[in-house]
Structure formats: structure tokens, C-alpha cells
Structure 1
Amino acid sequence: MKISQEAAGNATFAQEESLPRVPLPALEASCERFLTWCAPLLSAGELEATRAEVAEFLRPDGPGRVLHSALEEYDATEGVHSWLDTFWPYRYLGRRDRIALNANFFFLFQDSDKPQVERAAGLVAGALNYKRQLDQGLIEPVVQRGVPQSMVQNAFLFSATRIPGAQLDSVRAPYTDACPGPSPARHIVVFFRGAMFRLEVLGRDGAPHSLEDLEAGLCAVMKAGGEPDADTSAGHFTTMARAEWAATRESLITGHPVNAAALDDIETALFCVALEDFAPADIQEACDELLYGDRGNRWFDKAVSLIVFADGRAGINVEHCELDGTTILSFVDALLNTPAEEQSRQSGARPQGLPALEPIVFELDEVLRNQAQAAAEAFAAYGAATATRTVSFEDFGSSAAKALGVSPDAFVQVAYQLAHRRAKGHVGATYESIATRQYRYGRTEAMRVVTPEMVTFTDTMEDPSTDTATRRAAFHAAARAHVTRAKESQAGQVPEQHLWELELIQRRRGTELGVPEQPALYRSPGWLTLRDDYLSTSSAPSANIQYFGFGSTSSRCIGIAYVLLPERFNLYLSTPLAVADQMESFAEELRGVVAELRGLLAPEGSAS
């Protein structure tokens, strides 16, 4: 995640070192919060057992003290930007399952009346203009409520690719020691019908091709793409579990030297563009295709892939290891807020003729062809085993919540809990992503939504004997508790990532530190229950996107990606097919709950 020292001269990144460091919580504080956060989810016996393990963890010579001391020492080490510097690579690059559908996320852009090639060329032009501004340090650091935000993630927008590893993946990217400055690449990779093409979009002097040139280049790709050859596309390899893909990548290179050049073309490309030869039947299908559509037409390891369907509908699929939603929102807003013609003009684009185009061809022997086909079949089955649903509220948005005197995010999170209670009969561990980019190299924190007040609220609403005033008071108490916890989470007063990193230190250095075994805390009812998501939630507020989505995080989890804007509220839900009926029930209950809560709060609209 670290960027090169040379990048500090770029005005976009220049203030990074002056941002405050991510605060390292005190060990006792994290353990106390951990008990408070997991308590509403536990029985009395489970809570008592968890308390006992926390006490053992915290004893004067206990494992927690040793591990925390090691983390403090690491945090004070020269060159370390944050105590999370090692955590993030282990969290994202260390996962060994497939990242396609499981980790990558998507945005569905607002519709356009432009045809496919024109829409795609405009998006490419916008991205090239953004790169020009980034290279020249013209992207102003984001400021929220007067507080500057970390801009490091912008270094991973262009020519960044995740590389599979046997134990731990890595990232190939510019602004690093291997490539200290901006990406020197002049090409993108365009997919069509499972075929890949290297398309030069910048001239030799760095000037972008004109919109007309780009359209001509994309048309040439589609003409050259011919008949589908998707079954054995090398793109399928990126859907495999990471260690398996790492071994296959090694086979690609060692057995067939020409493949190293093909991989280099893809990995150094500024970004990918996937042109689809079909139009989704509806919004639901468009979202699903953006999340896990394949046909050999994706390279899921690429940081940014712009996807344009035959009807001009478009979106983006993002590899998550170095990029969070807030950074991609800024990028997408920059692409879509300015007309393509103006983007092209600003970038200095000029007519240069048909962009240089050449196919990217992999030599696949029978073994590799069979692996590609098997990967395609396995991923198609995995996608088919995932249930998804879009839910849209056209008569509700953040303005309506504010009119009721409630934090919009608190309103929808309270609604989720009541809908889940009615759909499944109980509340369950719920994750909400909280941005912490106000800190140096800051990313996100893991907020847990279920507070005692939230449980009391759902109990109150399910008790037919309670009156309106009691229900209203319970709602406001839950909403206030939610806002308080969100503020604490944004300030880094959160237990989970801290305790998780201590566990990872034990895995990496336990024997050296005298903690050879995993502390029992990490097998306690509290730890296991708190992190076993029933709901995993994240929001992406932008007027330029219709839907945002990601896969669920466990065998019974409902992933909830939501776009909450002043006048609309759109959700994309995902869950394993085995529990699809529960997701459908949740969706139907949520519709009723939103209406019910609006009615409950309308009479007084008291502030929360």
C-alpha cells in the first residue's frame, strides 16, 4: 500500500504526511468496547465465557499485552505510516478464495442515450483526462467538513493489477519503488467476446487520441473480435482461487514464454474496457453482469474495468485491495459530471488517426485450455449459486429522513434491523463500513451496528402492547446510539481491526514473541458471533450511479449495498442461493418497515 517517495512531489499526494496518524487504541479500551459491542448478540452464559477469555488476554503477562506491545513498537517504526500498514495487505491480499464476486465491487452508472461505442469512447476520454490531472498533481485533495482526506488510493487507479501468489498476493502499480512516478503506459486492454486487444489511447508524445479516434479504435476491436471464443479465454483464470491462479500463472509463463508479454500488456495497461455483445434485459441483470459477468470478457485482477453493454448501459468493476468506494466515487463523478467532448478538450486530445491495435494472444496447451474451461464452468456455477435482488424506493431518500429529524444513515440502518428481525426472527451481527480517510493512509473501519438500543427498539416494535410514544422513543434512542457509534468508529475508537491485527501478529510472529498459540479470545463466543455477519452493509452516495453492489460475506449473510440520495434509495442485495428466500423476505419486510417508520415518526418529527 505504500507509495514511492517520488510521489510526494505530486500535489495530489503532497499533504499525506501531514495528516494525523491512525490512532492506535489502548488495549484495555479495545477489549472493553469488544465486550460492549458483542454483548447484545450473546446469551448471559456466552457473555460470561467471553469475559473470562478477555480477562485472560489482558492479564499482566498475558498474550494481549505481548502482542499489543509488538504492535506499538511497529507503529513507532520509521517509515511506517499506520499500525494498519501490515493489516491491510493481510486482510485483502491474504485471502485465498476467489476475488471475483467475493471481493470486487461494482457501480452501475446512470443511463445514457449514447450508443455503445460512443459511450465507451467517452468514458475512456474521461479516464484519460483524470490520469492527466493526476499525473500533473491537479486533482485537489478531497476535503470533507473542512477536514482533508487521504489521497493515496488514487495512485492505484491506473496501471494497477493484483498479482496472485501462493501465500499472499501482491500489487503491480505505479508510484511505487518499482515504478516511482506515474504510469508510463499508453495503452488500455479492450475485451470483446472473450478476445483481448491492446489499444494505444495515448500518442507517443502523451497526448490522448480524439474521441473520433477512440471510437474508430473500439469499432476496430469489435470487428476483429469476430465469433465468440470465450470458453478458453485466459480471463477465466482470474476467477480462480488465488493459490490455484498463482500456480496457473506460473505455468503460463514458464511453459510458454510468449505469455509473459501478454500478461505484461494486461498488467501495465492503464485500465480495461469490456465491450459486451448483448444488452441486459433489465436493471437486475445489468447489476449481476457488472458483479460477476464473465464470458472470458473480464480480468478481475485489474484495478479498474469499465464495462459497456450493447445498449450503451455502462458501469465499473473494481478490484478492492487498494481501492475503496469513496475513491472510486470521486473518480466516477469526475468521469460523468463533465461531457466527454469537454473531457477530451481538457486532456489535450487531438486527432492522430486510428489508434494502434493488436490482439493479446495467449498460448494455451491442452492442460491450460482445460483449466480455463473448468474455471469458466466453476465460476458460472458459483454465480448461479448466488441470489441477488435490486430494491428501489422512489418515494424515499435522505431528504425524507432529515425531514423526520433523523440521520439518514441511522434511519436506514434501524430499518434494516427491524426488517431482518421480521424476516429471520432475530437480530444478527451487522457490519457497516465507515470511511477513515481523514488519517494518513486511512481506509475504513469496521462498525458493528447492533447496539443494546437497537435490540430494545426491535423488541418494542414486535410487542403489540407498546404504544406509539414508546415506539417512537425507542426508535430515537436506537438512532442516537447509531450516530454516536458511527462517530466513534470514524475517530478510530473501534475494537475489531485492532484485535484482529493482534491475532495476525500472533500468526506471523507468535513463536518469536513467546505466544506460540492463538489466544483463546479468538475462539470465544463473543469474537465468533460478532464477526459472523448476518448483514454486511456499505453505502455509495452519488447522483451519477444507480446501483452499487458486492457479494455476501458468509453462507447466511445478506450483502446490502445502498445508494441513499436526497430523493431516492436504491439497494442491491446478495446472498447464497440456499438462503435466497430469507433475502426475499427481508426485501419485502424492508418495504413495509420504511413506510411504517415514516408513519411512526411523522406526527412529531422530533430531532434525533
Structure 2
Amino acid sequence: MNASEEISTRTFGNEEHLPRVPLPTLDETCERFMEWCAPLLTGDERARTEAALAEFARPGGPGRALHAALERYDAAEGVHSWLDTFWPYRYLGRRDRIALNANFFFLFRESDQGQAERAAALIAGALDYKRRLDEETLPPVLQRGRPLTMEQNKFLFSTTRIPGAELDTVRAPYTDAWPGPSDARHIVVFFRGNLIRMDVLGPEGRPHTLDELEAGLRTIMKAEPAPEPSAGHLTTKARAEWADSRQALLALDPRNAEALDTVETALFCLCLENFTPRNTLDACDHLLHGDSGNRWFDKSVSFVVFADGTAGVNVEHCGLDGTTVLAFVDEVLGAPAEQLSRRSGAASQGLPFIEPVEFVLDDALRQDIEEAAASFAAYGAATATATVSFDDFGADAVKALNMSPDAFVQMAYQLAHRRAKGVTGATYESIATRQYRHGRTEAMRVVTPEVLRFVEAMEDPEAGTEARRAAFRAAAEAHVRRAKDCQAGRAPEQHLWELQLIQKRRGAELGVTEPLALFDSPGWRIMRDDYLSTSSAPSANIRYFGFGSTSDQCIGVAYVLLPDRFNAYLSTPRGVAGAMHVFADRLREAVHELRGLLA
């Protein structure tokens, strides 16, 4: 948007005026790629990567043909961003299980409400948000006075990922198949393996009152455990296998199509657990990979409420990033439920309509479900997690030391990882780019030459305080520069990745069918083989944020960095859990040590 253009107050009123995601030239991307991967490579690995890159980008070479196709796509009518095709392939193209591997969670701030009361409050807040979204009276989010894209909000309600043999699809409103906002009036409540439809909006589309929602939930919570195994377990399978199971459900009995339709069109899921978590870590773990009979991991939004009122949300990632869900959660939790319910136009209409959602199963499907449940339970058990909390340290303390808070904690991760594992490894950080039309995130790689020098200085017994401090500040400043580059669209990884995907989709048509050495080069493989995968979610309404690790040696680091505190949730395969716990200990030490260094 130009500074002179007036900002629309309508939710989606600024979308067409937002600037487009910049598409770098191929030469710019190649230069940045070598800069980004070089710190992780030996001399020989660097030489091999440079040779593969030169072959890829030579005049008349494969990279030029693929990039030219991307330029044509970016200029085509109806295309919002050169990443429009990238995102579906990145998320919907993955073939492993999304439960634990891709979905993420937020643990909400504590509340003194009981389970049914808290759950009713979350429903009421979500319905108020949906009403404002539907009417486009929800103000667009502004960043430094400029509007951000609100496009992802279209995937908050009635959105479900549908498994496919080779590529998943999404069933959602605001599409040709389902124009405009969702007209669904129901949610699906999970309790003790039962799936139950509850109409949260009356026949005229007005929300039920808080008391009525709570009464409906209390009625549901009288249910005995489900007599049949829950089809929810199937959503934990690898995607092609789940697609086969879904087809088997549809082929067995027409009532299964109705049941799937009820789940897939529901505004969201509400998962009620009949136990209280042992502690905060236990709550986080159940939000990430709880009882899969009580989940539908393909649903974009699933609120989870435990027996003591502890609550959070599990989110399917294909259409939603953390910043969008955070803004939603802040609205739902940011005002008393009574106020939100009144504002939504809630009216007394009696007890909500409640009906079981029942799947017809045969022995083969029962066995399929039971095997999926056992497999996912084992997968969850093979994941180790930990929380690290700093109650006396946060963003304000770092700013007082004249440093970027995010750069500070990222450098602390690097130092802690080196001390825990003895290596500096590839580190991913997610950078939001919602200032662009249909913008989502950019992939940042944290390890720079300055990071290597900083870690070496901290580990060098001969280095004095002044040298360490200077190395720390230089690394933090390099981090800020690279983050700004990512925000400005100057980053190589997603650009090259999309060129790789274009060859996969259209190689024969473009005359690029040969194997491309670049994507098997040490630089490409090593830069993207995460040792740390990091992302932040700053909100006072969130205690913890979390996701699974991305590889066998990876530690997932999801962090909530607030003015007065700093919480991180760590995850890694159980086989390397020892190194994660050492990392947690070294992180506590590193934060204390680096604070002292700057002070």
C-alpha cells in the first residue's frame, strides 16, 4: 500500500492493495544461498556445492528455465504471490503423519473456571470472532501503522484437511465450492471417544447463551465411553494411508459420508478430556499428541479443555500460521466471556441440539483404527519433551541491555547447543511476512559467520570479556540484518525450493528433466537438516507454544518471549532425549551468562 492510500477498516478491505511478495532474481538467490550455507560446510563441501550451483544457474541452464516459468506465473492474472502454489505443495504435499509432525499447539493462560464453564467461554468467544469476521467488522491487524494480510482468517472456521493419495486437499468456506463465510451452525465435541454434534448457533444463526452452551456440554459429559473405537485415530496415519481408510469408510456405508460431512463442516472441534494434567509439561504434551481417539487432527482448530479447566488449542498448519491463531486467541481470551457472548448477539433458545456422530465400522476398519491408535501412541511415547521457564527475565530486560530480544535468545540457543552437542548445526527460524499480499512466513537460517565467531569466543578460555561481548553483539546484529532481509523477501531457501517443485510438477513441459545436482549438494542438504527448529509466539494469553521436532537429531524450540518472562517448550526423538535435557540446562546457564556479559 502507498502511504497516501487510506487504510480500510474492513477485515479483508486491504488485501488487493498490499504489496506483492518480492521475487528475487536467480543470481541474488544463488549468491545468498552460498552465503547462508557456507558457515556449515567444509572446504570440500563448499566447492562441490558451488560447482552444482554454477551448473544450475548457468546461462541457458535448468535454473534459468525454472525461474523464467516462476516469473511468468507471478505475472499471471489471479496470482497473488509467486508462493501461491508453493504453500499447498509444502504443506499438503507432505506424506508423513501431520499429528505431532506438523500441527502445533498453544497452552492458554490459567483460569479459575471449571471445565464446562471454560469450554463454553471458548465457544462464545470464537462465535463472536466469527460473527465479526463474517461481517468484516473485525479490524485488520496493523504493524507499524500498515495493514497485514488477513487472508488466513478464512481458514479458522469449518476448515478441514482432506487426505489424498499424492496430495491432500482442503475443504473450506470462501472457495468456489463453498462461497462466502461458513453457514455451519455446529461444532463437534469429543468426549471419551464419542463424537457429538452440538449446534452452537440456533436456527436463525444466533449464538446460544453461555448458560445454554454450558448446559449442552454438561449433557454431553454424561456420556459413557464410546462403544466403538473412534475414527479420530485415523487422522494420525500417514496421509496416503489415511486416504485409503477414508475411502474404506465411504465405501462401507452411506452413513459414513454423513458422519464425515458433519465433522468436516463443523465450525471447529472441542476436545473435552476427563482427566487433569499432572503438570504444565503433561498439559503441553497432551495438546501436542493427546489421545487420538479424542481428536480430529485434520481440523484447522481444535480447542482442548481438561477436567480442571486447563485449556489450549491444537492447530492444523496448512492454512494457518501462529500469528493468525495468536490474534484469534487474544480476542477469544482478551475479554470476559459474558461480554463477548453479548456482543455476538447470543439469545436464549433452550438447550442446544445435540446428536451423536456415528461411523459404521466393520472388522477391517476396527482393526485399522486400533492399529492407528497403537502406532500413534507409540510415536508419541517416542517423543521426549521438556519446558524451560525464566520467570525473572524477558524482552524488557534484553531491551535494557540495548539488544534485540529475539537475537539474544537465538544466540543463547546457539551457545547452549554447542555446549550440549559439541557442534553448531543448521538452525531454522520462522519469520512472519504478513505485510505482503497472501504473505505467510519466510525460512531464516540462523547460523552466520558471526555466530561461529561468537560461539568460538565464548568457548575460548583465552578470550577476554571485551572480546566475547564484541563477538556477541556482532552476532546479534548480523541476526537482526538477516531477519530484516527475510521480512523484505530477500531469502534463498523457499525460492530454490519452489524451483525444485516446479521441476517436479512441470519439468517435462519446460524441458528440465535431468536430475539437478544442486538439490543433492552438501550445501542444500546440510543447511536444511535442522539441529534446531525454532519459532516464537509472543502473547500474554499463551503460557506455552509447541510443535514436534523435524529430524532425528533436531530439537524443536517453541518459545513465548514476553516483556517479563520467557518460556520454551522443547521436543526431540526419545533416543536423543539426553542431549535435549543437557541443552535445557545449558540454555539456563547461557541466558544467565549472556545477561551478565552485557551488563
TM score, norm. by length of structure 1: 0.97
> Which sits farther off after the overlay, 429-438 or 517-526?
517-526
User: Which aligned runs of 4 or more in structure 1 are off by greater than 6 angstroms?
Assistant: none
Give the equivalent residue in structure 1 for 2:182: 183
Give the equivalent residue in structure 1 for 2:558: 561
Give the equivalent residue in structure 1 for 2:5: none
Does the Cα contact within 8 Å between 1:38 and 1:530 map onto a contact in 2? yes
Does the Cα contact within 8 Å between 1:53 and 1:520 map onto a contact in 2? yes
Give the equivalent residue in structure 1 for 2:142: 143
Give the equivalent residue in structure 1 for 2:575: 578
Structure 2: distance between partners of 1:460 and 1:217: 62
Asked if 1:324 corresponds to 2:321, the answer is yes
SS in 2 for 1:382: helix
Give 1:228 deviation, angstroms: 5.1
SS in 2 for 1:536: strand
Does the Cα contact within 8 Å between 2:99 and 2:289 map onto a contact in 1? yes
2:242 to 230, 242, 245: 245
Asked if 1:540 corresponds to 2:537, the answer is yes
Give 1:517 deviation, angstroms: 2.0
Give 1:295 deviation, angstroms: 4.5
Which letter maps to 1:530?
Answer: M
Asked if 1:262 corresponds to 2:234, the answer is no
1:296-335 equivalence runs, <5 A: 296-335=293-332
Does the Cα contact within 8 Å between 1:541 and 1:565 map onto a contact in 2? yes
Does the Cα contact within 8 Å between 1:280 and 1:309 map onto a contact in 2? yes
Asked if 1:26 corresponds to 2:25, the answer is yes
Which letter maps to 1:426?
Answer: V
Give the equivalent residue in structure 1 for 2:428: 431
2:224 to 223, 226, 246: 226
Give 1:256 deviation, angstroms: 1.2
Percent identity, aligned pairs only, is: 68
Asked if 1:212 corresponds to 2:242, the answer is no
Does the Cα contact within 8 Å between 1:536 and 1:560 map onto a contact in 2? yes
2:502 to 502, 505, 513: 505
Give the equivalent residue in structure 2 for 1:113: 112
1:37-52 equivalence runs, <5 A: 37-52=36-51
Does the Cα contact within 8 Å between 2:9 and 2:139 map onto a contact in 1? no
Give the equivalent residue in structure 1 for 2:412: 415
Q: How many residues align?
A: 592
Structure 2: distance between partners of 1:78 and 1:511: 24
Which letter maps to 1:227?
Answer: P
Cα distance per residue 1:307-355 (max 9 Å; x no partner):
0000000000000000000000000000000100001100010111100
Give 1:14 deviation, angstroms: 2.2
Structure 2: distance between partners of 1:127 and 1:568: 27
Does the Cα contact within 8 Å between 1:17 and 1:440 map onto a contact in 2? yes
Give the equivalent residue in structure 1 for 2:167: 168
Does the Cα contact within 8 Å between 1:10 and 1:136 map onto a contact in 2? no
Does the Cα contact within 8 Å between 1:81 and 1:440 map onto a contact in 2? yes
Structure 2: distance between partners of 1:10 and 1:164: 37
Structure 2: distance between partners of 1:295 and 1:403: 45
SS in 2 for 1:512: helix
Give the equivalent residue in structure 2 for 1:274: 271
Give the equivalent residue in structure 1 for 2:373: 376
Q: Closer, same or farther in 2 for the Cα pair 1:244/1:295, shift >3 Å?
A: closer
Asked if 1:515 corresponds to 2:512, the answer is yes
Structure 1: distance between partners of 2:302 and 2:314: 5
Which letter maps to 1:233?
Answer: S
Give 1:11 deviation, angstroms: 2.7
Q: Closer, same or farther in 2 for the Cα pair 1:531/1:63, shift >3 Å?
A: same
Does the Cα contact within 8 Å between 1:274 and 1:306 map onto a contact in 2? yes
SS in 2 for 1:279: coil
SS in 1 for 2:293: coil
Give the equivalent residue in structure 1 for 2:57: 58
SS in 2 for 1:296: helix
Which letter maps to 1:205?
Answer: E
Asked if 1:470 corresponds to 2:467, the answer is yes
Does the Cα contact within 8 Å between 2:208 and 2:349 map onto a contact in 1? yes
Does the Cα contact within 8 Å between 1:507 and 1:518 map onto a contact in 2? no
2:476 to 479, 490, 497: 479
> Which sits farther off after the overlay, 251-260 or 322-331?
251-260
Structure 2: distance between partners of 1:303 and 1:165: 17
Q: Closer, same or farther in 2 for the Cα pair 1:82/1:254, shift >3 Å?
A: same
Cα distance per residue 1:346-384 (max 9 Å; x no partner):
001011110000000000100000000000000000000
Give the equivalent residue in structure 2 for 1:606: none
> Which sits farther off after the overlay, 507-516 or 568-577?
507-516
1:291 to 288, 292, 296: 288
Which letter maps to 1:102?
Answer: N
Which letter maps to 2:225?
Answer: E
Structure 2: distance between partners of 1:483 and 1:113: 40
Cα distance per residue 1:408-466 (max 9 Å; x no partner):
00000000000000001010000000000000000000000000000000001100000
Q: Closer, same or farther in 2 for the Cα pair 1:149/1:10, shift >3 Å?
A: closer
Which letter maps to 1:93?
Answer: L
SS in 1 for 2:139: coil
Structure 2: distance between partners of 1:58 and 1:547: 43
Structure 2: distance between partners of 1:388 and 1:417: 19
Does the Cα contact within 8 Å between 1:386 and 1:576 map onto a contact in 2? yes
Q: Closer, same or farther in 2 for the Cα pair 1:142/1:212, shift >3 Å?
A: same
Give 1:254 deviation, angstroms: 1.3
SS in 1 for 2:368: helix
> Which sits farther off after the overlay, 510-519 or 521-530?
510-519
Does the Cα contact within 8 Å between 1:503 and 1:518 map onto a contact in 2? no
Cα distance per residue 1:32-57 (max 9 Å; x no partner):
00000000000011111111111111
